Amino acid sequence: QVQLVESGGGSVQAGGSLRLSCAASGDTTSSYCIGWFRQAPGKEREGVARITGDGRTTYADSVKGRFTISQDNAKNTLYLQIISLKPDDTAMYYCAASTFYCGLARTGYQYWGQGTQVTVSS
């Protein structure tokens, strides 16, 4: 069992930046991969970035160059650094962990946080 708690969201102006955090607890050694997802109103939840235990990363095309995923293993914390925020980045952002899968598909992840809201105004 893995527990995940996101923080760091908020309301910002377009062009601004945010750093989202995800604190993990429980049996974190069972996690094969962790990632960030987002869901905007009326849209499906989509993967934006994921990272393996040894630091290999993958990003969705829509966020490549602006989003950076990283992890601090000593703190059991996952981060998502976002720069040059756009209004269409507005969404609820979730972190997730999988014991067997490492991609950007929502259905591959078993453990989810409660989400943190990011709202970007023009």
Split the chain (122 residues) into runs of 10 and give each run's mean pLDDT: 97 98 93 95 97 94 97 94 98 97 96 98 95
Q: In what order do the strands lie in the sheet with 77-82?
A: 2-7, 18-26, 77-82, 67-72
- DSSP letters of 48-109? EEEEETT--EEE-TTTTTTEEEEEEGGGTEEEEEE-S--GGG-EEEEEEEESS--SS-GGG-
- Residue 74: φ, ψ to 5°: -65, -30
The pLDDT, as a whole number, for residue 120 is 98
Per the CB < 8 A criterion, the answer to whether 79 and 100 are in contact is no
Q: Tell me what pLDDT residue 53 has.
A: 85
Residue 121: how many CB atoms within 10 A of its CB?
11
pLDDT for position 89? 97
Per-residue pLDDT at 29 = 87
Q: In this prediction, what percent of the chain has a pLDDT beyond 90?
A: 91
Specify the pLDDT at position 46.
97
